[in-house]
């Protein structure tokens, strides 16, 4: 089938429709897609199209939920559906949704090239590829992902990358590509500097507390966590976040490691308020080569000093600017953390953090992205003459 956008219907109430195709569920960890789409919803009608849920005894149906001014679209497909019929079923559900919409322009916004499998016939006025991660390097990646990404790069009007290293790797593959590293909801995380009620599942954990929050998957160096905890049994390691793509039984177990599970975004400042240090024990592997952890500036906005393994997009700019302490192994982590715990934050460090964060926000990032999107030529994806910040983190 060929599901195309309906003809324009002149209307004073007509708006642009932006439909986002994402590999991340809306109610998963609150990160880049949620930050940007909630801001896009101020000027666009935004629909967030998730990956399908497979259920017993169901015909294909599109579940629609309203949240934060956005319609979250979740396709439900029968568990018995043939693999080669999935794309056709998703295309039909998407076509039915679009047929019921009235809009002036349609913007397609991709986080995953795999969505091209059911959107290739959809005619959008603008196409955005927000390349936040190198998905092909993640565990369980589709063998078709790289070929589909090449097609998406040809289709896209404008391309954004979620980190400096990813930009350097792909800057020659599109003529209208721009760097937009992880940004920050500064006011939200700055609440951790205030008096907040201690979360019930953390209040009884002794200090000092060293914390991590985020997805717990193959990107975490679990051996590093285990060795660090074993070396410092009097320190408490608080680990927040959902477990994905790894066996929960593989998590190191010790009396001073606390796996507290996923928490609401709104509750994170209260947890960070009770930590003495932030901890980013990422493995140095293929899956982390191009990541740009959003939690880096979030830790800093909360007033926490951070220790991290040498992830390229943490080294530059945060490590080189002295805003984050880089460690190579559990032994170095131990003595660096001990030194930080023994001394209050340096005023010079605090001033440098505030200077960096002052020029970095999701509001500013979205405004810059939207200007580039509006300037992109429909037929070629090239931008008209326009001066616009790249969204880099300046230090």
The closest alpha carbon to 3, from 69, 132, 97, belongs to 97
Cβ neighbours of residue 250 closer than 8 Å, sequence gap 6 or more: 222
Residue with tokens 């589909």: 148
The residue range of the domain holding 323 is: 186-358
Residues 222 and 246 in one domain: yes
Whether 381 is covered by a domain: the verdict is no
Residues 141 and 202 in one domain: no
Structurally, the chain folds into a number of domains equal to 2
Digitized pLDDT (tens) for each residue of the chain, 395 residues in all: 222 233 333 333 448 999 999 999 999 999 999 999 999 999 999 999 999 999 887 789 999 999 999 999 999 999 999 999 999 999 999 999 999 999 999 999 999 999 999 998 899 999 999 999 888 877 777 788 899 999 999 999 999 999 999 999 999 999 999 999 989 999 999 999 999 999 999 999 999 999 999 999 999 999 999 999 999 999 999 999 999 989 999 999 999 999 999 999 999 999 999 999 999 999 998 888 888 999 999 999 999 999 999 999 999 999 999 999 999 999 999 999 999 999 999 999 999 999 999 988 999 999 999 999 999 865 444 443 333 333 332 22
Check if the beta carbon of residue 312 is closer than 8 Å to that of residue 286. Answer: no
pTM: 0.88
pLDDT for the residue numbered 378: 54
Task: Count how many residues are written for the chain.
Answer: 395
Residues 31 and 95 in one domain: yes
Q: What is the CATH number of the domain that holds 152?
A: 3.40.50.2000
Whether 290 is covered by a domain: the verdict is yes
Between strands 70-78 and 61-67, the pairing is antiparallel
How far is 108 from 20, CA to CA, in rounded Å? 6
Whether 266 is covered by a domain: the verdict is yes
Structure tokens at 74: 């979740």
Residues 26 and 157 in one domain: yes
Whether 298 is covered by a domain: the verdict is yes
Residues 98 and 242 in one domain: no
Cβ burial 187-217 (10 Å sphere, 16+ → b, else e)? ebbebbeeeeeebeebeebeeebbbbbbbbb
Element (H, E) at 339: helix 330-342
pLDDT for the residue numbered 16: 95
Structure tokens at 100: 């019921």
pLDDT for the residue numbered 184: 94
Q: Which residues pair with 216 in a beta bridge?
A: 243
How far is 337 from 342, CA to CA, in rounded Å? 9
Residues 126 and 226 in one domain: no
Whether 380 is covered by a domain: the verdict is no
Residues 41 and 164 in one domain: yes
Whether 312 is covered by a domain: the verdict is yes
How far is 77 from 92, CA to CA, in rounded Å? 12
Residue with tokens 């976040």: 241
pLDDT for the residue numbered 137: 76
Residues 64 and 210 in one domain: no
How far is 373 from 384, CA to CA, in rounded Å? 10
Please state the three-class secondary structure of 194-216 as a single string.
Answer: CCCCCCCCCCCCCCCEEEEECCE
Cβ neighbours of residue 134 closer than 8 Å, sequence gap 6 or more: 166, 169, 289, 290, 291
Residues 164 and 302 in one domain: no
pLDDT for the residue numbered 377: 65
Residues 175 and 195 in one domain: no
How many C-beta atoms lie closer than 10 Å to residue 182's C-beta? 24
Residue with tokens 């937009």: 180
Residues 218 and 164 in one domain: no
Cβ burial 265-284 (10 Å sphere, 16+ → b, else e)? eeebbbbbbbbbbbbbbbbe
How far is 130 from 23, CA to CA, in rounded Å? 12
Whether 387 is covered by a domain: the verdict is no
Residues 320 and 345 in one domain: yes
């Amino acid at each position: 089938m060929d599901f195309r956008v309906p003809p324009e219907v002149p209307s004073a109430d007509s708006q642009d429709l932006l439909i986002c195709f994402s590999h991340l569920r809306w109610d998963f960890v609150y990160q880049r897609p949620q930050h940007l789409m909630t801001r896009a919803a101020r000027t666009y009608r935004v629909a967030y199209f998730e990956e399908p849920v497979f259920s017993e005894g169901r015909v294909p149906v599109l579940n629609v939920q309203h949240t934060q001014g956005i319609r979250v679209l979740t396709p439900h497909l029968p568990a018995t559906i043939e693999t080669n019929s999935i794309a056709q079923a998703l295309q039909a559900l998407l076509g039915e949704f679009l047929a019921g919409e009235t809009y002036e322009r349609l913007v397609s916004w991709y986080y995953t090239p795999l969505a091209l499998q059911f959107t290739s016939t959809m005619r959008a006025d603008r196409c955005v590829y927000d390349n936040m991660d190198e998905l092909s390097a993640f565990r369980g990646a589709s063998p078709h992902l790289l070929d589909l990404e090449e097609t998406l790069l040809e289709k896209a009007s404008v391309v954004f990358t979620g980190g400096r290293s990813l930009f350097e790797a792909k800057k020659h593959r599109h003529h209208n590509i721009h760097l937009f590293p992880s940004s920050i909801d500064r006011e939200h995380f700055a609440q951790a500097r205030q008096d907040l009620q201690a979360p019930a599942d953390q209040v009884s954990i002794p200090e000092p507390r060293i914390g991590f929050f985020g997805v717990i998957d193959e990107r975490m160096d679990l051996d590093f966590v285990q060795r660090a905890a074993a070396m410092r049994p009097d320190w408490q390691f608080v680990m927040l976040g959902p477990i994905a793509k790894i066996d929960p039984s593989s998590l190191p177990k010790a009396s001073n490691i606390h796996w507290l599970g996923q928490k609401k975004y709104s509750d994170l400042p209260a947890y960070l308020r009770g930590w003495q240090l932030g901890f980013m024990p990422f493995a140095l592997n293929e899956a982390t080569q191009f990541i740009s952890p959003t939690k880096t500036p979030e830790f800093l906005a909360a007033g926490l000093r951070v220790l991290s393994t040498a992830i390229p997009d943490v080294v530059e700019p945060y490590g080189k600017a002295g805003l984050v302490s880089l460690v190579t192994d559990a032994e170095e982590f131990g003595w660096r953390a001990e030194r930080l715990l023994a001394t209050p934050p340096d005023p010079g460090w605090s001033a440098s953090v505030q200077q960096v964060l002052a020029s970095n926000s999701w509001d500013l990032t979205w405004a810059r992205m939207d200007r580039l999107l509006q300037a992109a030529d429909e037929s070629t994806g090239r931008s008209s003459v326009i001066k616009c910040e790249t969204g880099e983190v300046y230090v």
